[in-house]
Amino acid sequence: MADFRRQTAYKLSAKRILESEYTQMQGWVPNYLQVGDLKVSRVNLIGVLINKENSLLIVDDGTGQIQLRPFQETIDFDTLSIGDVLLIIGRPREYSKEKYIVPEIIKKLDNKKWLEFRKKELEHQVIKPVEKQEYIEEQPSQSTNNLSIVIEKIRELDEGEGVDTQTLINALQMETPEKHIETLLNEGEIFEIKPGKLKILD
């Protein structure tokens, strides 16, 4: 069955999400935010949970506040508390000119320094054009297996301060490990806590 390649989750501030133009597409083509030259269908946001009512969450990243409207069956609301620092991977949406995020992943982060880290990341962010997203056949399971292998190898090598990127590449017995590392970074599964140092957010 034909499927889309999983779109990159771009690291954006709440302000940039809220101010970007939203385009709704027809059929299977994903809706997107126009951010510079990019068509962004998935976002990666870090913010503090400031409101939690029924199935609605509101987070603030210091640049603005944005709503999260998760599917209740996919998010355990009981584990989330006001003041939690959250990593959100999700899809931007718009209704009655109001933008919000439908989260795919919500992870609680261990301290508020991640907010400062993300702020610095965004200050140095350069958004470049990407290749047009196309329909492709569903990816073989080996790709997913390789991503899992990379994550497990980081866990194995990390003694608390992260893992040197080159050390990880040397330890991985696979072709194009750099490609899998980049995929995990883009999807928010791992972070580069400082240049050349990778860490998992467990």
Cβ contact 113:127 at 8 Å: no
- Residue 13's identity, in one-letter code, is S
pLDDT at position 121 is 86
pLDDT at position 18 is 95
For 99-114, what is the mean pLDDT? 89
Per-residue pLDDT tens for 131-154? 544 433 444 445 667 888 888 899
Who wins on pLDDT, 88 or 72? Answer: 88
To the nearest whole number, what is the mean pLDDT of the chain?
82
For 121-129, what is the mean pLDDT? 75
What are the extents of the domains in the chain?
A: 2-123, 139-200
Specify the CATH number of the domain 2-123: 2.40.50.140
CATH architecture of 139-200: Orthogonal Bundle (1.10)
For 111-127, what is the mean pLDDT? 85
Separation of alpha carbons 43 and 59, rounded Å: 14
Cβ partners under 8 Å of residue 200, min gap 6? 151, 154, 155, 158, 189, 190, 191
Cβ contact 65:18 at 8 Å: no
Cβ partners under 8 Å of residue 67, min gap 6? 56, 57, 58, 98, 100, 101
Min mean pLDDT across 13-22, 138-147, 172-181 is at 138-147
Q: What is the dihedral of CA 159, 180, 6, 70, to 10 degrees?
A: 0
